[in-house]
């Protein structure tokens, strides 16, 4: 309201954590066989969500637009570096297996 009225806005931070996101994508063109490692990824400290949207048999390709994504991972941490390390760990655990068309 203050901003809309042209008055100064005073914001106090209520949180001091960081978050990051990585997308699950196909390594090549073909059909999705499976996405594995989800349960292990969900157990990594700092992981908020591991979501898959790809179904086996679906035609896949390396990402060219948002529709090529097969899922995502959200992580939080006290520093940006902690979030990056968590996401790196998760991406090493999750495997997107495809077969050539």
Structural domain tally of the chain? 1
Distances from the Cα of 51 to the Cα of 13, 30, 71, 74, angstroms? 29, 21, 5, 9
CATH number, domain at 24? 3.30.470.20
Per-residue pLDDT tens digits for 23-52: 999 999 999 999 999 999 999 999 999 999
Per-residue pLDDT tens digits for 54-96: 899 999 999 999 999 999 999 999 999 999 999 999 999 999 9
Specify the pTM. 0.83
Domain residues for 67? 18-99
Q: Under a CB-based contact definition with an 8 Å cutoff, are residues 18 and 89 in contact?
A: no
Enter the tokens of residue 34: 């499976």
Residue 67 CA to residue 42 CA, distance in Å, equals: 23
| 24: in domain | yes
Q: Check residue 12 and give its pLDDT.
A: 86
Q: Check residue 11 and give its pLDDT.
A: 86
Average pLDDT across the chain, whole number: 95
């Amino acid at each position: 309201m203050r901003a809309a009225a042209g008055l100064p806005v005073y914001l106090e931070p209520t949180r001091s954590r960081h978050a990051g996101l990585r997308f699950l994508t196909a390594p090549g063109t073909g059909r999705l066989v499976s996405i594995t490692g989800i349960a292990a990824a969900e157990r990594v400290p700092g992981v908020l969500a591991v979501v898959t949207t790809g179904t086996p048999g679906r035609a896949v390709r390396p990402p060219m637009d948002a529709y090529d994504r097969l899922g995502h991972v959200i992580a939080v941490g006290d520093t940006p570096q902690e979030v990056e390390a968590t996401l790196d760990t998760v991406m090493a655990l999750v495997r997107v297996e495809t077969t050539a068309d």
